[in-house]
Structure 1
C-alpha cells in the first residue's frame, strides 16, 4: 500500500484523493482549516466543496502538514497556483526524504512567467524532490467525485516519473495518459482558463453558439501560438490538455472561470464576482501573466488582450467584443504559418 498526501482539500484535491483511495492507497488529505478536517473525518463528506458526495472511509483528513506527509512516497499538490511557493517552502521544513511531487494546479505566475512545475523546482529543496509531475486535462471535480468516466494526462521532464504517476491514478473510471511535453501540458491547462472567461462573458452578453465556437477556435490558435513560441509541441494543444480541457471549461456550468465570465458579461464588477465565487478563479491571474508574456514574446493574442482590458482596465465587455469583431481582415491560414515558423526555428 502506497502512502500519499494530497495537499489541498478543495473540490479538485478531494476528488483526486478519492481516486487514489479507490486504488487502495493510504491517502491523507491535508487542509489548513482545522474545522474542515474535523468535519470531513466526522461526516465522510467535504460538505463545503463536494456536498452530497460520500468519501471513502479510509480517506483521512489532516490539518497538521508534518503528520500528513510523514512516511509518504508521493505528495499531490492541489492548491491555487498563487499558493504554490508558500506551500513548497513549508514542505521544505517537514519532508525528510525524497518523494515524487504531482501537481494539479493550472496557472502561470505573473512577472516571472513561471509554470507551476518551475515554481516548484525553484522552491523545493533538491534533497526532498524525487521528480515533479503535472496532471491536467478535461476533468471537473464534481464528475470525478461521482466516478464518471474521465481522462487526463500526466507529464514530466522524466518520462518514468510520469509513468509512476500514471500507475498511482489510473483505474476504470479515471484513465491516465502520459506525455513528454511538460511545457505544452501546463500551458494548455493554464491558458484555457482565459478563453473560458471569454466564453462566459459571451454567454453573459447573450451571444449564441456561433460566437462561442469562434471564441474557442480562435482562442486555441492563441494558445498554440504562444505555446509553440515557448517551446511546446503544437500537437499537444489538440489533445486532452489543450482542446479537450478548452471545450469542457468553456461549455460547462461546473467551470468557475466560465461562471466568473458569465457574471462579468451580465454587468457585475470583478471584485464582486471574485468575492461571490468563494473559490479561486485561476483565469484572472493567468490573463495578466499571459498578457505580459505575449508582449515580451511578441506573440499576437487579441482575445487575451481584450480580456485583460475587461479585467484590469475596466473596459466594457461588449465594447471589447465589438473591437475584436472589427479587427483588420486576414487569412485564417496565417496563424498556421506563424506556428509552423516557430516549430522550424526551434
Structure 2
C-alpha cells in the first residue's frame, strides 16, 4: 500500500513539473535586437497558427516583387537565419524582393504544436493557406536549408505557378529516405531527444546544455554563435525555446515523417518523369563525400536552369557558420531569375 502511494506521488510530481509554464521569449525581442524592423505574423489555418517573421523592402520600387520564404533544417526554425537577415535587407532592392519571410514549422519557435506529425506534403498545403490568410500572396522565391529543401521541392511541384526560383542549402534530396543509415539515424535521434525530454522533466537538461554538452545539431545555440553574426537576444531566445518540451516533442514528430516525406517526394518526381523543368535553381552544397555530391548533382539536374555553388569550408550548418555563402547564392539566384526566367515552368 505504501509503495503504491509512493508511485502515485511520483507520477503526480512528474505531471506537475510538466505542467509548469516555462517562460517563453517575446518574439519581437528575439531576432535583430534594437531597431529590428521585422513583423511577426500568426495566420491561423485549419486550426493551427504558424509564425512567419517578415522584413519588408524599404524601397517603393520592389513592392510587387516576389516574396522570399526561408525554411530551416531540422530541428531549427526562424532564428537560424538571423546571421543572414541584415545582408538580405541590404540587398533586397537589388534582388527585386518585396519581403523576406522566415518560417517556423509547426511546434517550432512561436508556431502552434500539432497533435500529430505533419508530413511535408500536408505542411506545404497548410503553409500556402496560411500565407493567403496573412496576405502574403504573389510569387515566391523559396530558400531551404537541409531538411528545408524537401519543403522547397515539394512546394514547387505542388504549386508551380507560385514559384519563380529556388535555392537549396546543403539540402536533403528525395532519395534520402531510401538510405538505410538515414532510417537508422531517425531512430537514434528520436531516442536522444526522448532522453532530453526526460532530463528536462527533472530539471537536468539546462545545466547540460549550458555546459556545451549538447551538439548544435539538435537545435541548441552555443553562445559562441555571436561571432558568426547572431545577436545575443536571438541566441538567448533559441536556447529558451530549446529548453521547452514543446520544441523537443516537435523534433520527434519531424524525425518521424522524414522518411515518408522524402519517399513521397521521390514518387512525385518518378510520376510521368516529373522534373523542375526550367525553374531557376541555385544548389549550394558542401562535398561531404562522393555519395552526397552525386545526390546533390542529381538534385540540381532536375532543373535545366540550375547552377551549383560550393560551400567552403565544408560544413552542413551553413546559416550558423557561413552566412556569406548564402548571400552569394541568393545574388546568383536573383541574377538567374532576372536574366533567364522560366519559360515553361508553371505553365
TM-score bracket, normalised by the shorter chain, equals under 0.3
**Structure with the largest fraction of helix:** 1
Q: Which has the higher contact order (CA 8 A, sep 6+)?
A: 2
User: TM-score, normalized by length of structure 1?
Assistant: 0.27
